[in-house]
Structure 1
Amino acid sequence: MPEMHFRVRWPDDSVSDCYSPSLVVKEHLEAGRRYPLAEFVERSATALNIGSERVRQKYGFACSSAMDQLRRIEETAARFDGAADPQVLVESFIP
């Protein structure tokens, strides 16, 4: 199963490299595009849950790394609660 990493820039200009167990993330996020924070979290959650489910279908267990990544995204996003119009930039996909 091809995994993928994607680099995001948060509203405070910090950068994170994120993990997906599947290329499905490219169906939900676009490199070079800015997303409102809540939309980024929602799209990431959708992609990571689909990727985890694909792992379950193939190997019989969910992808804990995808769920850990989602937790880290949600925790980082929570730092910007109350910020005016927080945006997340998907900088690139890293094969």
Structure 2
Amino acid sequence: MYLFISGAEIFVILVIVVMLFGADKLPEIARGLGKGMRQIKDATNDIKREIKNSAEKHDIDIDIANNVKKEINKVKDNIGDFTDPVSKVKDNILDDITGPIKRNK
């Protein structure tokens, strides 16, 4: 499955393309699509390169997302250090409260 399209759907699309344009035009259409995809890829790579160069020129950290993820994970770990003892105390209190109730049943 490619691009959320099954093999049968791709086959139907190919049959329609052959019926509309003819078998002799398929290589030309494929070349045009290939050129278009290459131009899009080159344009996106150029944009990425310009952003990276501009960020380096102005001393901007381009790995902000990775740094934010690291900080979030540190905070999660620190919160876990605080909440684990509280959870244990809560569990002990609940056991003490529900213990006599369970014994009476």
TM-score under structure 1 normalisation?
0.29
Q: Larger helix proportion, structure 1 or 2?
A: 2
Structure ID, larger Rg: 2
**Of the two structures, which has the highest relative contact order with CA contacts closer than 8 Å and spacing of 6 or more?**
1
Q: Larger strand proportion, structure 1 or 2?
A: 1
